[in-house]
Amino acid sequence: QLQLQESGPGLVKPSETLSLTCTVSGGSISSSSFYWGWIRRPPGKGLEWIANIYYSGSTSYNPSLKSPVTISVDTSRNQFSLKLTSVTAADTAVYYCARFSRAYSYGFDYWGQGSLVTVSS
Amino acid sequence: DIQMTQSPSTLSASVRDRITITCRASQSISNWLAWYQQKPGKAPKLLIYKASSLESGVPSRFSGSGSGTEFTLTISSLQPDDFATYYCQYYYNYLVAFGHGTKVEIK
């Protein structure tokens, strides 16, 4: 059974960099059928897609995001990562990593449990 | 950018009610639309993909329809476990976006 697990600091100071890693187990991140993505849910708000990455390193980003974002992949560790720089309180959210089916459902079919990140001094 | 309008934002209903949630896209997205259910403290769960295909393990009381710009999620007979927040999500030209969500609450 595929599992995804987010890891990273739960508290980040304003203007600093938020870094999260998603570890995939029970399957290969190098599958040609999937993208790997990050989604967040700020408190009291809805879901917001952040970015997707393919195992080859091809990326797509939400053009509406205000904080600069970088998504990367490490196929040797079966992990992908997210960095948001110059964060503000508006980046406080539960961050989810998920698998996106690019060849079948065009939806996120497996999700991590979520990681709460608070931006505060 | 494609704008996605999801309605209503809140829906009050009773057990065994039939309910419908709508998502409208500002331009055609073919059938590249999915629906999710999210409960407090949990990750979203994929219910419907490609507008009308039921994800494995999802009860048949859930159904989706539509193509182009207008899509609906229907729950034919609301069960106690179905009170949650529902989101639509489109995929178009390598970009993904979610609707703003519909909270289904007990009347």
Task: Give pLDDT, residue A24.
Answer: 98
CA nearest neighbour of B28 among B63, B54, B3, B64:
B3
- Which residues in chain A have their CB less than 8 angstroms from residue B10's CB? none
Number of other CB atoms surrounding residue A33 within 10 Å: 10
Task: Give pLDDT, residue A103.
Answer: 85
CB pair distance less than 8 Å for B43 and A96 = yes
CA nearest neighbour of B69 among B88, B55, B87:
B88
Task: Give pLDDT, residue B1.
Answer: 81
- Terminus-to-terminus CA distance in chain B, angstroms? 36
Look at B3 and B75; give whichever has higher pLDDT. Answer: B75
Between A and B, how many residue pairs show a Cβ–Cβ distance under 8 A? 71
Give the Cα separation of B41 and A102 in Å (integer): 27
Task: Give pLDDT, residue A66.
Answer: 81
Give the Cα separation of A81 and A75 in Å (integer): 11
Question: How close is the nearest chain A Cα to the Cα of B58, in Å?
Answer: 12
- SS3 at position A121: coil
Taking CA–CA distances from B51, the nearest residue in chain A reads A105
Q: Which residues, other chains included, contact B89 with Cβ-Cβ below 8 Å and sequence gap of 6+?
A: A47, A49, A107, A108, B33, B34, B35, B36, B96, B97, B98, B99
Task: Provide, for chain A, the percentages of residues in helix, strand and coil under a 3-state DSSP scheme, each rounded to the nearest 5.
Answer: 0, 50, 45
In tens, the pLDDT along B35-91 reads: 999 999 999 999 999 999 999 999 999 999 999 999 999 999 999 999 999 999 999
User: Concatenated DSSP letters for A81-92?
Assistant: EEEE-S--GGG-
Q: What is the largest CA-CA distance in chain A?
A: 43
In tens, the pLDDT along B6-46 reads: 999 999 999 999 999 999 999 999 999 999 999 999 999 99
- Which residues in chain B have their CB less than 8 angstroms from residue A114's CB? 43
Task: Give pLDDT, residue A80.
Answer: 98
Give the Cα separation of B45 and B64 in Å (integer): 15
CB pair distance less than 8 Å for B91 and A47 = no
Taking CA–CA distances from B94, the nearest residue in chain A reads A60
Nearest CB among A49, A106, A114 relative to B98 is that of A49
Would you give per-residue pLDDT tens digits along chain A (121 residues)? 999 999 999 999 999 999 999 999 999 999 999 999 999 999 999 999 999 999 999 999 999 998 899 999 999 999 999 999 999 999 999 999 999 999 888 999 999 999 999 999 9
Task: Give pLDDT, residue A67.
Answer: 82
Question: How close is the nearest chain A Cα to the Cα of B89, in Å?
Answer: 8
Look at B79 and B1; give whichever has higher pLDDT. Answer: B79
Interface contact A49, partner B, CB < 8 A: yes
CB pair distance less than 8 Å for A106 and B91 = yes
